[in-house]
Amino acid sequence: MFKIKYLDKLIIFLMFWLLPVDTLHGFVMQKGINLPISIGQFYKFIIIVLLLFRFLFRPKSLFISVFFVLILILPTVYQIIKQGDVTFLFSDIIKISKYLAPLFAFLFFVDYIKREGEHGIKILLKLIQFSYIILIGNVFLKYVGLGYPMYEYGNIGSKGFIYAGNEISALLVILSAIIAYDLWRRGENLKYFLFWGLTFFAGLTVGSKTGSIGVLVIFLLIPLKRPSFRISLKKILFFFISFFAIIPAALYFAWFYIQDTQLYIRLDYFYKKSDFLTFILSNRNVFFENAHKNYIEEYSLLEKIIGIGQTNYESLNNGQIVEIDMADILFSLGIFGLIYLFAITLFLLIQAFRFSTNRNYTYSKFVLLMIFVLFGISATAGHIYSSAMIAVFMGLLFALMYFKKDVSNEELNTIDR
């Protein structure tokens, strides 16, 4: 038991440095230093290896992990046999690990939360808060002339030195949602809305629709999941002030912020050039049509079922992926890949619904909300279930529903009275 706790501490310590290492990776790349393997990928690989080693002490978690590894590696093995070529093996393994990492993280955090309880939650919240600071610190580097823009053309948006910019918006939503829910749960309403303002500004600075709209939607929905439903005049007044004053002010500020920027010019250009659906999905529907055509015409029946692997999928579509997670999983990992995604999602939904009926599972309703939100983002903007940078924090988020408030002390106090 002592060894397991020691290993858990090491894994969580390494997770604290995920975003700093990604920042270092982006800085190194900006300086033109080419390494045989990405610093960020190597660091995440170490964490994944430690997680799998950790599962040796939990045979059930190990079995689940190995089972899905074998399912998702199947198309790569088939293509190696079919083509007699192994050059794409490493790149496919990296991509598969990104799809599996959220599951590995979830299994780890569930066991950790069950064992550590309230103490474990406090440590995990510190991990979230620290990572949030690193993330928005990167985003705000734009205002001192440092870091990468989100879009090179026009120097639009900001991702700091975090090179994998597409995942930043979703990560901002996840980290800020956990912190915001904790503030709202503790009744710290003023801090909640101040934090909202900071995060909303960070979302605008990122320069993506997911970053700004996602943050706005989450901060509107969290109060609806508040554990206490007692009605008072003070709460009603607070509700009306929040929704009829603060929100319009935030929308006006967003409009004022972007209307004289290259971001507005970019949005205006694509809105006039495209139909509404294409504008909202940023051409992903067009990418889907092309990839789906190849799926119908180029894949054999077996390949439609098991997939052709990520490298062959990208090669067949001239390096362009759809950037909608369900579509990319189908076209790379086949129907088996979709079954993996839907099986995990269905399991999470069932567990969240089950726990939400017990008020002692503090985070269950919040996690249920976030399952729907993240699934919606994955279906419109992608980069949710295929992001190594998000994986740890998404697994942590879903595992929070397993935290059960210890009411033994409250019951003892009641008996003493």
pLDDT one-digit tens code per residue, 90-143: 999 999 999 999 999 999 999 999 999 999 999 999 999 999 999 999 999 988
* Contact (CB, 8 A) for 293 and 331: no
> Is 90 exceeded by the pLDDT of residue 163?
no
Q: Name residues whose C-beta falls within 8 Å of residue 310's C-beta, 6 or more positions apart in sequence.
A: 91, 92, 95, 96, 332, 333
| pLDDT confidence bin for 395, thresholds 50/70/90 | very high
Pick from 196-205, 349-358, 366-375: least confident: 196-205
> What is the Cα–Cα distance from 251 to 384, expressed in whole angstroms?
26
Q: Where are the domains of the chain?
A: 2-416
As a whole number, the mean pLDDT across the chain is 85
- Longest CA–CA span in the chain (Å) reads 76
Ordered alpha helix ranges (H), 140-261: 168-185, 189-206, 209-221, 233-241, 247-258
Q: Looking at per-residue confidence, does 157 or 290 come out higher? A: 290
Res 253: pLDDT? 61
CB 62 within 8 A of CB 55: yes
- How confident is residue 387, by pLDDT bands cut at 50, 70 and 90? confident
HEC letters along 275-333: CHHHHHHCCHHHHHHHHHHHHHHHCCHHHHHHCCCHHHHHHHCCCCCCCCHHHHHHHHH
Cα gap 128→297, rounded to integer Å: 45
